[in-house]
């Protein structure tokens, strides 16, 4: 069964709106900011600052985060929401299982997982 692509946030205004909501959870491998919305579906944004490294490293971090999000979304059902996953310096060396645990715990603490 093919995995459906992730709906991503692309507009800067969406990222800024989510940041203003002040719902965030910080873990060693990532920061997750979120806001619940009325429309169906989940949209995800990814961002990594230049402090993490050069373009090659930042892209590697984003690919790892996309993989983690894809796996979590395929295993769990989320409320209709937008969330932004921000890569950190520790994301580079953190194991995939630890990153997956970080995201799962963040989504749970933010109340985005359907029970």
**Domain-by-domain residue ranges, the chain?**
9-109
Would you state the pLDDT for residue 78? 85
pTM: 0.89
Asked if residue 11 lies in contact with residue 74, where contact means CB atoms within 8 angstroms, the answer is no
Which stretches within the chain are classed as H helix?
12-20, 55-75, 96-109
Asked if residue 91 lies in contact with residue 52, where contact means CB atoms within 8 angstroms, the answer is yes
Would you state the pLDDT for residue 1? 45
Q: How many Å separate Cα 27 from the centre of its chain?
A: 12
Tokens in use for 98? Answer: 């630890």
Helices 55-75 & 96-109, crossing angle to 10 degrees?
60
Q: Say how many C-beta atoms besides its own lie within 10 A of residue 84's C-beta.
A: 21
Tokens in use for 63? Answer: 């690919």
CATH assignment of 9-109, given 1.10.340.70, 3.30.230.10, 3.40.50.2020, 3.60.15.10?
A: 3.30.230.10
Tens digits of pLDDT across the chain (115 residues):
456 678 899 999 999 999 998 899 999 999 999 998 888 788 999 999 999 999 999 999 999 999 999 999 888 888 888 999 999 999 999 999 999 999 999 999 998 887 6
Q: Say how many C-beta atoms besides its own lie within 10 A of residue 55's C-beta.
A: 9
């Amino acid at each position: 069964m093919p995995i459906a692509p992730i709906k991503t946030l692309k507009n800067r205004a969406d990222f800024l709106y989510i940041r203003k909501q002040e719902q965030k959870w910080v873990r060693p491998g990532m920061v997750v900011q979120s806001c619940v919305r009325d429309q169906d579906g989940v949209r995800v944004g990814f961002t990594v600052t230049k402090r993490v490294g050069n373009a090659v490293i930042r892209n590697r971090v984003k690919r790892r985060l996309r993989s983690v999000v894809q796996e979590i979304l395929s295993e769990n059902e989320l409320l209709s929401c937008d969330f932004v996953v921000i890569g950190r310096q520790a994301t580079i060396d953190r194991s995939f299982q630890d990153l997956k645990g970080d995201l799962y715990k963040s989504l749970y603490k933010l109340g985005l997982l359907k029970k």
